Chains A and B, each alone.
Chain A
Amino acid sequence: MNTNLFELINPANAIHLLTIVATLISLVVASFLGWVNVRKIRLLNQVLKTPIAIFLFGSAILYLIACVGTLVLGFNLWISPLLLLLRN
Chain B
Amino acid sequence: MYNQAMVNPFAAFVYDIKRIPSIAFQNQRNGEDVKLLLRQHPITNIRWALPIALLAFLPFAAQTWGNTFLATLQLPTIVETFTTIEIILLTSTYYLVLIYIGISGLLRWFFNVLLLTNLRVIDLTYRPPFHWQITQAQLEEVQDVSFTQGGILGIIFNYGTIYLQTAGTSQNIMLSKVPQPSRVNELIVGLLP
- Residues of chain A at the chain B interface (Cβ within 8 Å): 11-13, 15-16, 19-20, 23, 26-27, 30, 33-34, 36-37, 40-41, 43-44, 46-52, 56, 59-60, 63, 66-67, 70, 73-74, 77
Contact = CB atoms under 8 A, between A and B. Distances in A.
B81 A37 contact: no
Contact of B81 (A12, A23, A59, A63): A12
Interface stretch (B51-59, B129-137, B155-163, B175-183): B129-137
Chain A, interface SS category:
helix
B174 interface: no
Nearest to A20: B86
A25 B140 CA distance: 51
A40 B113 contact: no
17 contacts: A16-B82, A20-B86, A26-B96, A30-B93, A30-B96, A30-B97, A33-B129, A37-B103, A37-B107, A37-B128, A40-B129, A44-B124, A47-B26, A59-B103, A60-B103, A74-B89, A74-B93
B92 interface: yes
Interface residues of B, number: 37
Contact of A23 (B75, B89, B99): B89
Contact of A67 (B6, B80, B96, B124): B96
B96 to A, nearest CB: 5
B25 A11 contact: no
B111 A48 contact: yes
Given A51-B6, A56-B110, 19 more contacts: A11-B75, A12-B78, A23-B90, A30-B96, A30-B97, A34-B100, A36-B130, A37-B107, A40-B126, A40-B129, A40-B132, A41-B107, A46-B26, A47-B124, A48-B111, A48-B113, A66-B99, A74-B93, A77-B86
A12 to B, nearest CB: 4
B17 interface: no
